[in-house]
Amino acid sequence: MTLPPDSLPPGSPPLGGFPPLSAERIAAGVRARELRAVDVVAASLARIERADSVLCAFAEVWEEEALRRAAAVDEQVAGGVRLPLAGVPIGVKGRAGLRAAPARALIAAGCVPVGATSVPGSGTHWQTWGLGAGGRTVNPWRADRTPGGSSAGSAAAVAAGLVPMATGSDGAGSVRIPAAWCGVVGLKTTNGRLPSADRTGLAAAGVLTRYASDAAAYWRCVRGEEEGEGYPSAPLTAVWSADLGFADTDPEPAALAHGAALRLADTGLVRLVQLVQLVRRNSSLVRLEDPGPAWLALRAAPGTDPSAVRDADRLRAENDRRLAALFADADLILTPTTPNAPHGHDGPGDRYSTALTWAFNLSGHPAMSIPAGFDSDGCPAGLQLVARHGEESLLLRLARAAEAAEAARPSYPERERESPA
């Protein structure tokens, strides 16, 4: 059967032929037996074969195993088994990605892993890049730029339409940064809500998708939790900060993210305020301490510098106190996802792209990056949404609302730019 076309979320790079279906559309078609999982997976594999020599988003492609799994999904559906994500091709982060609990849950829900997505290779300390089977992973919007990392291949594969969904993990922004730089949706879950092998507790599982509704489908499958129906009767209070009090954020990503935040406020779901407007009795609400030194100390090998760890624990406790005070008055924090645009393949220089993300790995809060538009170089930027612990469902509802609002906007030239894939 010929796969039908599907509308794409704003800012999706075309890849020739029909636009890829969303995960939810694929699953509905396979469950209704209007589509065969084998055909959907074969189409995904064909797109990978056509595009990945340029993108290098995959470290391994499991063609035979993927087609075998897809055939098994078709047999289950024919036998009356209801699979929530029947026949959805997915990428899994890294060669060990199949062992992660979220990937196993997605497979149980009917997803078909088609390959291991690229992660940073050896030989450099910086993580905002990826190394696929054919070389360095490129950004689908500009091949001379990195897609971000460490979930580099997952973001590139989703942005280019090779798969509708890919798993990731986020220890300092490793889902949110590539989501922002590739123009897709990236969810970092609350630390500890899903299993993680990270010894430091800084990393949390996550997912990258083209559609916010597909991120919600991921959450239902891996956590068994609905994103909720409807919206609050009163607007949520959303605090905007371009720098969290310490980051050196460039003007263009800050402006793009602020514009996206204003458009979210235009939906009536949130009331946007500046961070200084929430100051009560404690002026420390205005800013966080720079989390970088604490994150680096906690991530270092155990026992390397006990005094640095003590300082890190002090800083972490202070930021946790400030965030608790902020969330007592506000429902959300909105920031640019990154302080800078995607860098080239020669490395980030002395800039920390993690400046606005790793604070929430230290604190454990759930956070999302959603598309915020394109900069003057044609690169995507992201808006970061942060909620209280355990409020992934709230983030997902807002991301869907923001996506619907973007889809209703008039066409913009940047939406027509073609991907080098």
Dihedral angle of Cα 21, 25, 42, 90, to the nearest 10 degrees = 90
Q: Is 188 a catalytic residue?
A: no
Among candidate residues 224, 152, 172, the one with its CA nearest the CA of residue 193: 224
Joined tokens for residue 153:
């291949």
Q: CA triplet 102, 104, 385: central angle to 5 degrees?
A: 15
Mention every residue, 6+ apart, whose C-beta is less than 8 A from residue 380: 11, 141, 180, 181, 182, 183, 371, 372, 373, 374
- Residue 93 annotated among the catalytic residues of the structure: yes
CB atoms within 10 A of CB 266: 11
**What CA–CA distance (Å, rounded) separates 380 from 305?**
39
DSSP E strands in 27-184: the ranges are: 58-61, 89-93, 112-117, 131-132, 135-136, 165-170
Out of 12, 118, 150, 154, the active site residue is 150
From the list 12, 93, 363, 369, the catalytic residue is: 93
Catalytic residue among 44, 154, 174, 369: 174
Quick one: which H or E segment has residue 239? strand 236-240
Q: What tokens were used for 72? A: 């098994």
Q: What angle do CA 254, 175, 167 make, to 5 degrees?
A: 150
150 as an active site residue: the answer is yes
Judging by beta carbons within 10 Å of its beta carbon (0-12, 13-18, 19+), is residue 410 exposed, middle or buried?
exposed
Task: Enter the tokens of residue 108.
Answer: 């149980």
Residue 154 identity (one-letter amino acid): S
Distance CA 307, CA 20 (A): 52
CB 35 within 8 A of CB 182: no
- Residue from 383, 385, 357 nearest 372 by CA: 383
Show which residues are catalytic. Answer: 93, 150, 174
